[in-house]
Chains A and B, each alone.
Chain A
Amino acid sequence: MLSSRLPRLGPWIAKRLFTRNYASIYRGRYNQSTRNSFLQPPAFQQLSLNKLYNGAMIGKHNFLSTTSNEGNEQKETISVTFVDKDGEEQHIRVPVGMSMLEAAHENDIELEGACEGSLACSTCHVIVMDVEYYNKLEDPTDEENDMLDLAFGLSETSRLGCQVIAKPELDGIRLAIPAATRNFAVDGYVPKPH
């Protein structure tokens, strides 16, 4: 009896691990990375899994690396430097597979994330300070480009922090948080679309 069940058991287990692993990591990460959070984000509980795939804080890359690293206790980390609007530097270590937005929040770095990584805003906009690192990143998707369109202080090497996922080649990357008020001139102010 057991032998007839076994072949179905394998895929069944894999599927549970797959979905539950994804969802619980997702929620766990969110809880860790949000300061002063009182509640679980209700919106996420309604979003279908498909929507999570498209815009999740973890992102496609992280998902793949998570399952492939399943069972590894010690995650490889890379060195990342955030430079804030006043030029102050903060050096942190980021586990491979984590997004820069999550990493910033876990280290109390002031990077806004209004839509919490769902590619629906541009508030986690960062500027990759060295073009060699910028080139190591995968091209932004149409969805990311749509949001970058609206970012303040957009530059040639701008990306959304929630879409930059730590990988070994990015060790030493420096990210600048744009000075928002630069674009806020009273004179010659160009209204942004809504």
Chain B
Amino acid sequence: MQNVVILQARKWFSRSLSSFSSNPLKVCVVGSGPAGFYTAEKMLKAHQQAQVDIIDRLPTPFGLVRSGVAPDHPETKIVINQFSRVAQHEQCSFLGNVTLGSSISLSELRKLYHVVVLAYGAESDRSLGIPGESLKGIHSAREFVWWYNGHPDGRNLDPDLKNTDAAVILGQGNVALDVARILLRPTAELATTDIANYALAALEESSIRKVYLVGRRGPAQAACTAKELREILGIRNVDISIQEVDLRLTPADEEELKSNRIKRRVHELLSKAAAKPRTAGLNQRELHFVFFRKPDSFQESEDRTGHVSGVHFEKTVLKGDGPGKQIAIGTGEFEDIKCGLVLKSIGYKSVPVDGLPFDYKKGIVPNFRGRVLSDTSGDPTLLEEGLYVCGWLKRGPTGIVATNLHCAEETVLSISEDIEKGMLISSAALPKPGREGLLQLLQDRDVRIVSFSDWEKIDSEEKRLGSSRNKPREKLSTWDELHKAALE
């Protein structure tokens, strides 16, 4: 009987969260990319009285939509309109320039809000762990993308595009195709995009004429998708080189293609391109698709110490009979590709923060449908109360913008279920300081918050600068410039 009373009391308290305006649900979303914004949008829809604050360490919102999507893909950025409407919602606030871990700790946030959703993505890289990886001229694709997209942390990358005529890209996913395309596209076409001006200048002086997209396995395992592949195969003045022998399919490959529409179409596109006669010499630039090559080590230049001069590859074959389970095994035969620039596009990796359980093997926060688990044992009953994840931090660094839509729906559903079941009781019974508490704490620490209307000042300034150069915007890419435009 006592249990029933307690259960009823819990349910009443928790329902009081949403239905009484004296104790509105206070939610903090960490990260303002697609995962963060879709979460905020779905929370506001599911809980009409909730107050949602979105914090981001940058003064600019939108995460990878702003700093990841390539400059020549403006349509993919249109979703920013939808996210802006969310930020402008009466009960939502964007708070830029607030860094989890330095401006405020995770435990402090959890005291201020009933619900904290971590959606800060993956700002680090997987590494190969092979000799020579720290030579100059080797960068992660993530850094290179940040560089040409004007991210303030990527601005000083200063990749050397003038010392060589060849670049090797490790990986064959859409990010790899993006960086290849930016290196190969005629710069006149890039000049009217929102590419960072210093990157455009560097590309205009680039001596790179050959780009190699190298994968450990075969075309049936390439992670890119049809649209991006079709696009890069059609770039003006670029010769495509694909070995027809590489396109032969194993029985397991056939199985993989049979059940996967994307891979089928990718293979078709590659086959068509391989069959086309090469117009060698007429085109200025070359794109080579190289398969079945695993990087073994990076070679150091004899003329320029400390600088990469090539990649030493081991040829591979596929082993394993299950479709989707074929792995690349080294054959003991080796081959070199000479180059002065290497871009590793082998996957992003999330970064843990203090007080956050982390699965280092998978590079994600252990969770069950978005509910953060206390450890990596997988026991779904060991929950961190009031703490949730969404996006790459939850699923790993895969998927497109829209993948986060569904990811957010799942996380928000988990939150709603937990509120309904009275599981947020110990933190939820009392009203929480929420935004007022956060603003006070940040003020005490002299953190200058960038609000959404401050971001709109940056936005207008970028558009104004862009309009005189026939660009949609000219990105402000240093911390100083951004702060100046936002806060003065």
Which residues of A approach B to under 8 Å, CB–CB? Answer: 36-39, 41-44, 46-47, 51, 55, 112, 114-116, 118-123, 142-143, 145-147, 149-150, 152, 154, 180-181, 183-184, 186, 189, 191-194
Bound-state Cα–Cα, A154 to B259, Å: 12
- Size range of the interface on B? 35 or more
Q: Is the CB of B74 within 8 A of A114?
A: no
Candidate in B81, B174, B401 with the most chain A CB atoms within 10 angstroms: B81
Residues of B within 8 A of A (CB): 73-82, 84-85, 88-89, 173-175, 223-227, 230, 261-262, 265, 368-369, 395-403, 405-407, 409-410, 413, 463, 472
Tell whether, in the assembled complex, residue A112 and residue B76 are in contact, meaning their CB atoms are under 8 Å apart.
no
Q: Determine the distance from Cα of A47 to Cα of B74 in the docked complex, in whole angstroms.
A: 8
Whether A150 and B225, one on each chain, are in contact in the complex, defined by CB atoms closer than 8 angstroms, is yes
Among B174, B262, B397, B403, point to the contact of A149 (Cβ < 8 A). B262
Contacting B401 at CB < 8 Å: which of A114, A118, A181? A114
Q: Do B230 and A120 touch (CB < 8 A)?
A: no
Contacts A55-B75, A152-B402 known; list 20 others, CB within 8 Å: A41-B78, A47-B75, A51-B75, A112-B402, A114-B79, A123-B405, A142-B226, A149-B227, A150-B400, A150-B402, A181-B406, A181-B413, A183-B406, A191-B398, A192-B398, A192-B399, A194-B173, A194-B174, A194-B399, A194-B403
Between A and B, 11 residue pairs with Cβ closer than 8 Å are A43-B472, A46-B472, A121-B401, A123-B402, A146-B230, A149-B227, A149-B262, A150-B400, A154-B261, A181-B406, A193-B400
A142 to B224, CA, bound (A): 16
Are B230 and A142 in contact, with the CB atoms below 8 A?
yes
Q: How far is the CA of A143 from the CA of B175 in the complex (A)?
A: 19
Please name the residue on chain A nearest to B225 by beta carbon.
A193
CB atoms of A180 and B409 under 8 A apart: yes
Least CB distance from B345 to A in Å reads: 11
Judge whether B81 and A116 touch: CB under 8 Å.
Answer: yes
Most-contacted residue by chain B among A46, A142, A154 (CB, 10 A):
A46
| CB atoms of B226 and A118 under 8 A apart | no
Q: In the complex, A142→B229 CA distance in Å?
A: 12
Nearest-Cβ distance from residue B477 to partner chain A, whole angstroms: 19
Within 8 Å by CB of B368, from A38, A152, A186, lies A186
Partner of A146, one of B226, B398, B410: B226
Question: Using Cβ atoms and an 8 Å threshold, which residues of chain B touch A186?
Answer: 368-369
- Which residues from chain A contact B226 at a C-beta distance below 8 Å? 142, 145-146, 149
Contact between A116 and B78, CB atoms less than 8 A apart: yes
Contact B227 A121 (CB under 8 A): no
List chain A residues, Cβ under 8 A from B85.
Answer: 36-38
CB-CB nearest in chain B for A183: B406
**Chain B residue at minimum C-beta to C-beta distance from A44:** B78
Q: Which residue of B has the minimal Cβ distance to A189? A: B395
Contact A43 B406 (CB under 8 A): no
**Smallest CB gap from B85: residue in A:** A36
Instruction: Pick the residue among B75, B80, B265, B395 that contacts A118 (CB under 8 A).
Output: B75
CA distance A115 to B224 in the complex (A): 20
Name A180's contact: one of B80, B224, B406 (CB within 8 Å): B406
A181 touching B402 by the CB < 8 A rule? no
| Among A36, A43, A142, A143: residue with most chain B CB under 10 A | A43
Q: Are A191 and B402 in contact (CB under 8 A)?
A: no
A46 CA to B400 CA, complexed, in Å: 24
A192-B81 in contact given A43-B74, A146-B227 (Cβ < 8 Å): no
B230 / chain A contacts, CB cutoff of 8 Å: 142, 146
The smallest C-beta distance from B324 to any residue of chain A, in angstroms, reads 8
Whole-angstrom distance between the alpha carbons of A189 and B488 in the complex? 48
Closest CB of chain A to B99's CB: distance in Å? 25
List A contacts of B77 (CB < 8 A). Answer: 43
Contact residues in A for B397 (Cβ distance below 8 Å): 194
Q: Which residue of A lies closest to B399 (CB)?
A: A192
Contact of A121 among B79, B224, B398, B399 (CB under 8 A): B79
The 8 residue pairs across chains A and B that have the minimum distance between CB atoms: A120-B75, A146-B227, A191-B398, A46-B472, A118-B75, A114-B79, A180-B406, A146-B226
Nearest CB in chain B: distance from A48 CB, A: 9
Kindly list chain A residues whose C-beta atoms are within 8 Å of the C-beta of B84. Answer: 38-39
Q: How far is the CA of A191 from the CA of B402 in the complex (A)?
A: 13
Q: Which partner residue on chain B sits nearest A113 by CB separation?
A: B82
Q: Knowing A46-B472, A120-B73, A122-B402, say if A149 contacts B79 (CB, 8 Å).
A: no
Shortest CB-to-CB span from A181 to chain B, Å, is 6
Name the CB-closest residue of B to A142: B230
A145 cross-chain contacts in B, Cβ below 8 A: 226, 265
In the bound complex, do residue A149 and residue B261 qualify as a contact, i.e. CB atoms below 8 Å apart? yes
Q: Establish whether residues B76 and A120, one from each chain, have CB atoms under 8 Å apart when the complex forms.
A: yes
Tell me the bound Cα distance from A191 to B399 in angstroms: 7
Q: How far is the CA of A41 from the CA of B81 in the complex (A)?
A: 6
* A127, B395: Cα distance in complex, Å: 27
Tell me, in angstroms, the Cα distance from A100 to B401 when the chains sit together.
22
Instruction: A123 to B89: give the CA distance in the assembly, Å.
Output: 22
Known: A36-B85, A39-B84, A114-B402. A191 touches B396 (CB 8 A): yes
